[in-house]
Structure 1
Amino acid sequence: MLKTILYATDLGLYGPFLLEHVCELARCHQAQVYVVHAIEPISLFADALLKTFVPDMAKSELEHGGIESVRAAIRVQVKRAFEDDLIDFQEDKEWIADVQVLEGSPAEVILKEAERLHVDLIVLGTHAGNNDRGTAIGSVANKVLQLSRVPVYLVPTHSVRGYSTYGQITL
């Protein structure tokens, strides 16, 4: 029986479509939903740019609060975007137990949160909104599906994007 669901969102174009599935599952099973969004850590390139072009004093200020304040601002924006997605699902807010914005590789964040929370199911889309490679599932969904210790519910986003199951554009 499903009591806890981890909904991994990229807050992309298909968020409301995925949320519809999550809310239906939560309603049917009276399950608590934990929402997670991963933000990538600062890339090596960005870090190298900071070290090269930012004065030492400014770097010190960034290291002692600036970067964390940027992360905090991102967390606020992510939570606000998720609240916007929830507008059409006001009656389902009761199922949302928590919304977390965590730093790290998306697949790793999802898998760690699933383990930490002892969830019964992970829900995510087959692709992020930026996939045009025509693959059956994206890299994050693929990794989560391969490494998860709990069932994974993949919501196909290709049908939302206007592609048939054969990858051709439908009119």
Structure 2
Amino acid sequence: MFKKILVGIDGSAKGDKALEMAIGLAKESGAEIHLVHVIPWPNLPNVFPPGAIAYVPESVIQDLTNELKAKAEKTLKERLLKVEEAGVSGKIKVLEGEPASAIVNYAQEEGVELIVVGNRGISGVKELLLGSVSHKVSQLARCPVLIVK
């Protein structure tokens, strides 16, 4: 059925549940799993106060970006071990940008047939104002999206 499945990995328990679901689907269909983590650049939420980034030296921004990439790669490699232990082939990719758009663009470029993401549980007014990555992915994607609660 599916040959390529993308799983959005953010290091959360919800993301791990999405990965478990994707592994089960991949085993049934013989699919390859693409594990993707997105560094939300240039907005870097919760790192700098609004407007402060204009006053941060380029070297500090580069160091922070390198640190975030290293942490993301470590997280993805840990999840890739779970994929491989289940007898499924996989690959990892760290992306930068707005998370939903980066996930959807990667999926299109790689010919992904299913996107699996966890639901972080944002609801009500908060989701209306901020949106959620899973909701945005489901609206932008050109392939099926499975949102795991």
* Number of equivalences: 142
Moved over 6 A (4+): none
Q: Which amino acid aligns with 2:52?
A: L
Equivalent residue number for residue 7 of structure 2: 7
Q: Which amino acid aligns with 1:102?
A: L
Equivalent residue number for residue 16 of structure 2: 16
2:127 equivalent to 1:133: no
Identity of paired residues, percent? 32
TM-score by length of 2: 0.78
Equivalent residue number for residue 82 of structure 1: 76
2:85 equivalent to 1:118: no
Relative distance call for 1:102 and 1:88 in structure 2 (3 A) is closer
The structural deviation recorded for 1:47 is 8.0
Q: Which consecutive unaligned segments of at least 5 residues does structure 2 have?
A: none
The structural deviation recorded for 1:108 is 0.4
2:92 to 89, 92, 99: 99
> RMSD in angstroms over aligned alpha carbons?
2.8
The structural deviation recorded for 1:48 is 3.9
2:52 to 34, 44, 49: 49
| Deviation string, structure 1 residues 95-136 (Cα, Å, up to 9, x no partner) | 21x2111111111011100111011111111x22xx45368x
The structural deviation recorded for 1:149 is 0.8
Preserved contact between residue 15 and residue 117 of structure 2 (Cα < 8 Å) = no
Task: Select the structure of larger CA radius of gyration.
Answer: 1
Preserved contact between residue 15 and residue 85 of structure 1 (Cα < 8 Å) = no
Equivalent residue number for residue 150 of structure 1: 143
Relative distance call for 1:132 and 1:141 in structure 2 (3 A) is closer
Relative distance call for 1:123 and 1:51 in structure 2 (3 A) is closer
